[in-house]
Structure 1
Amino acid sequence: MSADAGGRAWRHPVPDPEFSGSGPAGRPRMLLLHGLGGHSAAWERFADRAGAACEVWNSELPWQALGDPLWPLRFDPRWVVTDLVNRTAADIVVAHSFSAGLVLEALAKGTIRPRAAVLVSPFYRSQAESFDWPAISHYLNNFHLVFAEALRLGEAARYSETHRDWLAKRLRDRVGPYGWTQWFDMYLRTPLLDLGGVTVPALVIGGDRDIAASAAGGAQLAAALPDALRVVLPDCGHFPMLQEPERLAAAVCDFLRARGLPGAARANHSLELEHT
């Protein structure tokens, strides 16, 4: 158990690794973290294309799709990410969207120290004043459009647009106000992060057609980090691991090699959180 500044107790899980395969001994370990309403399977095509030199670890997080919408009452997402990175001794952390913001915050606070971080489609604003009522309205009322984009890229692509829109709203409702509030609270904290002391090399990568995490925010984030590379994937939206897994894998591997780390391989390890 841990307590936040307000004295509230949070349960933060200790990952219980379960091995379904074996990775190359002594290789760097890569941890993949999906976003809000996502799932571990979203990384499969990326992992398959990312090379053959890392152990790759994956996890179903409390904020997974079709999970418990009341997970924020049981877990502090900042502790979830910190525990996973530290307990797995991850050398490389690859995180998408909501999880990318949590990783960024942990890096700023020094609670995790991987050898490299890859922030995929991260949310960031450099100025607190840029959050206004229209911004809140936009992200609240258009939240389902992010799920609609993901559904166009997956197995649901065979459905009609009307049916996908219905499914997107059901996913939004499943995430619920508790999950949305956790995401927006993370976003609101980004201007307050002291990124000047982050020494971990970071790749900030996203699509130029991202309707959720703005390209301008990604550019601001890369500029604020002392050691960051900014890559924009053309004709790509909020889910590069689904839409452009080959280009995403190539960019990540190039970045890691430039920083003296090898690319990634799929080791078929999985992590499960202890929900207590």
Structure 2
Amino acid sequence: MNTEPAQPVVVRRARTAGTPGTPLRVLLLHGLAGSAAVWAPFAERADPACELWTAELPWRGFGIRGWHERPADAWVEQAVARLPDAPDVVVGHSFGANAVLAWLSRQDQPSHRTPRGAVLISPFYRPREEHFDWEAMSYYLNRFQDVLSDGLRVSSRGQLAPDVREEMARKVRDRIGPYGWMRFFDTYLNTPRLPVERMSMPFLILGGGTDIAAFPDEARSLARALPDATARILPDAGHFTMVERAAEFAEAVNGFLRTLTAPPAPDAGHSAASADASADRSSDRSADLSAMEYD
């Protein structure tokens, strides 16, 4: 019987590139109580030019005890440091997306291995502190088990009986505990303070139209706040777009990755998509963001 303690961060190469030349190194980071298995549908469909790496993070499954004692971005830093070289693209889902965003806010530090681009899936984001209130805190506290249950539903492909799924979700919730939940919510609460306007690399922000955890408006709001970002919301998808809409998800991510590998057009500062996104952001910023509503 193996009695050695589990490693908090385990990084593995999930797939080599299928084309000659220097591959685009992509690091995939899962969300709270998730695992690297969530990326399997994408690994089957990812662009052949990509070399995929996954990280099992300390908030995986039932979690590594004490992970919440360190900020989430510190664990991202550890995952990046375990790669053979700096990642070209970092992809994060849910709490993992917020961990990536917090990590990117440290990009001016000398030791930081800044990627060329980032993909954030179902991120939690509110641009102003006043967008948080007691109702928001109550929602995420009381719906926490529902979100975990939905994750189990998706990962099991609907094979778990509802009562079994709810019992498993309760056990995962209790293992995460109040301190783990507080680490999640504290990371969320800090999003208005992140210097997103200084994050100049290209971003793709993906969300699900029926997501009950990370609302689509928050994905759009984050894309507006970043200098070079495009938001895409997949209709009729929830919190796990990479599984629920695997083909559409892969198409969107592969399209974004190809913009990082293709040589820039002469005298073109941005792609057409970036230009459209910039126009959208310019228009959107004329609106009063303080009027944003969250379900």
95, 99, 103: which is aligned to 2:100? 103
1:27 equivalent in structure 2:
23
The 1:17/1:216 distance shift into structure 2, 3 A limit, reads closer
35, 42, 57: which is aligned to 1:39? 35
Q: 1:56-94: CA deviations, max 9, x gaps?
A: 001111000122243223x44211102323542110111
Deviation at 1:133, TM superposition (A): 0.8
Runs of 4+ that moved beyond 6 A: 13-16
Alpha-carbon distance between aligned partners in 2 of 1:96 and 1:18, rounded to the nearest angstrom:
17
Alpha-carbon distance between aligned partners in 2 of 1:21 and 1:227, rounded to the nearest angstrom:
28
Assess if the C-alpha contact under 8 Å between 1:151 and 1:164 holds in 2: yes
Amino acid at match of 1:145: D
Partner-residue secondary structure (3-state), 2:261: coil
The 1:199/1:21 distance shift into structure 2, 3 A limit, reads closer
Superposed counterparts of 1:53-64, under 5 Å: 53-64=49-60
Partner-residue secondary structure (3-state), 1:157: coil
Bigger mean CA deviation after superposition, 222-231 or 85-94: 85-94
Assess if the C-alpha contact under 8 Å between 2:28 and 2:91 holds in 1: yes
Larger Rg: 2
Assess if the C-alpha contact under 8 Å between 1:14 and 1:84 holds in 2: no
The 1:196/1:54 distance shift into structure 2, 3 A limit, reads same
Assess if the C-alpha contact under 8 Å between 1:148 and 1:168 holds in 2: yes
Higher relative contact order (CA 8 A, sep 6+): 1
2:209 equivalent in structure 1:
208
Identity %: 43
Partner-residue secondary structure (3-state), 2:190: helix
Partner-residue secondary structure (3-state), 1:158: coil
Bigger mean CA deviation after superposition, 133-142 or 159-168: 159-168
Deviation at 1:161, TM superposition (A): 1.9
Assess if the C-alpha contact under 8 Å between 1:124 and 1:190 holds in 2: yes
1:92 equivalent in structure 2:
89
TM superposition score normalised by structure 2: 0.78
2:156 equivalent in structure 1:
155
Partner-residue secondary structure (3-state), 1:182: helix
Amino acid at match of 1:84: A
2:241 equivalent in structure 1:
240
Assess if the C-alpha contact under 8 Å between 1:206 and 1:233 holds in 2: yes
Structure 2 residue 68 is the aligned partner of structure 1 residue 72: yes
Alpha-carbon distance between aligned partners in 2 of 1:51 and 1:248, rounded to the nearest angstrom:
12
- How large is the Cα RMSD of the aligned pairs? 2.2
Superposed counterparts of 1:133-212, under 5 Å: 133-155=134-156, 157-212=158-213
Alpha-carbon distance between aligned partners in 2 of 1:239 and 1:143, rounded to the nearest angstrom:
15
Alpha-carbon distance between aligned partners in 2 of 1:220 and 1:132, rounded to the nearest angstrom:
18
Q: 1:181-214: CA deviations, max 9, x gaps?
A: 1110100000011111111100000100000001
Deviation at 1:23, TM superposition (A): 4.4
Amino acid at match of 1:216: D
TM superposition score normalised by structure 1: 0.83
Amino acid at match of 1:80: W
